[in-house]
Amino acid sequence: MSHHNITFSKEELERYSRHLIIPEFNIEGQKKLKASSVLVIGSGGLGSPLLLYLAAAGVGRIGIVDFDTVDVSNLQRQVLFGIQDVGVSKAVAASKRLASLNPHISIEVHDTMFTSENARKLIKQYDVVADGTDNFPTRYLVNDACVLEDKVNVYASIFRFEGQASVFNELLPDGTRGPNYRDLFPSPPPPGLVPSCAEGGVIGVLPGILGSIQALEVLKVISGIGDTLSGRLFLFDATGFTTRILKVRKNKNNPLNGENPTQTKLINYEQFCGLSVISEQPREVAEISVSELDKWRKEGVSHLLIDVREPYEYGIVEIGGELIPLATVLESTDRIPKDIPVVVQCRSGARSASAIRELEDTHGYTNLVNLTGGILGWQEEIDSSLARY
């Protein structure tokens, strides 16, 4: 839609007046916002400030893609939502919040997973895409779909105290497109190499900062004002309060738009990220269910329970296991007997299984059993008074 035919009501002029009195922005910039459309993928930590600011700023049409429902643990950072939204579809709850914030724009709800099947169809309907997702398969999917559909991808991601932001695939004055995510990181870390999904956590304000930067870059892309982060990667480390801006160059080996493109359509991103490769599944270990362990405890069956989570997790909730974090199990074998059954436990059962494999491989243990479902399983089936995290 051309922005030249855009008009504003008295209410809109008053609402956007602080934009209109910026000389470089003025009513032309506001018309461009109203004429534009943005697809925000993920309405979580990054998506919350992104959506709030885009709606407040007056972006004419905003699409929200999210398949998830609001969980109470989201409220620490996902400021779009309130306690009344817990259990409700995020996309639906977000659209209600945005409609109450700005009735002059239209909000489109896509209460669905963003997949290789629907990605291009969804992206095609919007001018700009903002990636607020939280996992590698979807990150690569968003990037590839944007490159294939010639859309700008305004990007940010976070990990604990650290954040990154950039603008990918922006149309440059010479008619070419700026670098994209594949130029920076051609392929994702396979499972088992850092950062892995088991080690999450994010300080609540951080997505607020990075998501706001994304919103700012979206407004710059649409209005054409200033220099965006195209060709640059912004880094923020909150612990030392260091910021850096690094150059991002196009990579001639980029499989999508390098010198010899090898990928012309979307692929299976779970497989690409090594998440569905069955041949690489690790060896099975002996298991015990939470109800069996409960029975052992009640009947006084001799055993030792060790907890291989981190001390900060132990501080949230524990079930009487001896704390030996995964990284230290091999140097703590003096505390792990071989003559009685040893039940190994973590949050959900994955880390405890790898602890068992390591101990079996290096120290010849044969008496180790994995607590299926970990402390989450115990909370679900045995003791619902415990906190989940």
Partner 1 sequence: MATLIIPTPLRKFTNGNAVFEASATSVNELLLALSFANAGIKKHLFDDAGELRSFIRVYVGDEDINELEGGNTKIDDGDEVIIIPAIAGGSK
Which residue numbers are catalytic? Answer: 197, 346
Any contact of residue 354 with partner 1 (CB under 8 A)? no
Identity of the residue, 203 or 225, whose beta carbon is nearer to partner 1 in the bound complex: 203
Print the binding letters for residues 27-56 with partner 1: x by CB under 8 A, - otherwise.
---------------x-xxxx---------
**Interacting stretch for partner 1, rule CB under 8 A, among 196-204, 221-229, 315-323, 351-359?**
196-204
Here the tokens at position 318 are 């524990």
Helix (H) or strand (E) holding 209: helix 205-223
207 is a contact residue toward partner 1 (CB under 8 A): yes
CB atoms within 10 A of CB 173: 5
**247 touches partner 1 by CB under 8 A:** yes
188 DSSP assignment: P
DSSP string, 100-140: HH-TTSEEEEE-S---TTTHHHHHHT-SEEEE---SHHHHH
Round to whole Å and give the CA distance between 120 and 118. 6
Which of these ranges, 119-127, 144-152, 194-202, 282-290, lies near partner 1 under the rule CB under 8 A? Answer: 194-202
Closest C-alpha among 284, 304, 277, 281 to residue 357:
284
- Among 222, 223, 159, smallest CA distance to 196 is for 159
Q: Which is nearer to partner 1, 223 or 257 (CB)?
A: 257
Q: Which two three-digit tokens encode residue 355?
A: 């602890």
Question: H or E segment at 287?
Answer: strand 287-288
Quote the least distance from Cβ 341 to partner 1, whole Å.
Answer: 29
**Which string of x and - marks every residue 162-191 that binds partner 1 (by CB under 8 A)?**
x-x-------------------xxxxxx--
204 binds partner 1 (CB under 8 A): no
- Distance (Å, rounded) from C-alpha 226 to C-alpha 55? 21
Is residue 350 a contact partner of residue 281, using CB atoms and an 8 Å limit? no
226 touches 64 (CB < 8 A): no
Instruction: Provide the minimum distance between the beta carbon of 11 and partner 1 in the complex, in angstroms, as a whole number.
Output: 33
Which range binds partner 1 by CB under 8 A, 4-12, 111-119, 242-250, 372-380?
Answer: 242-250
Question: Interacting stretch for partner 1, rule CB under 8 A, among 14-22, 151-159, 216-224, 344-352?
Answer: 151-159
Strand 37-41 and strand 152-159: the pairing is: unpaired
Asked if residue 237 binds partner 1 (CB under 8 A), the reply is: yes
89, 95, 157, 379: which one binds partner 1 (CB under 8 A): 157
Which positions touch partner 1 (CB under 8 A)?
42, 44-47, 74, 78, 131-136, 139, 156-162, 164, 184-189, 193-195, 199-200, 202, 207, 233, 235, 237, 239-240, 244-249, 251, 327
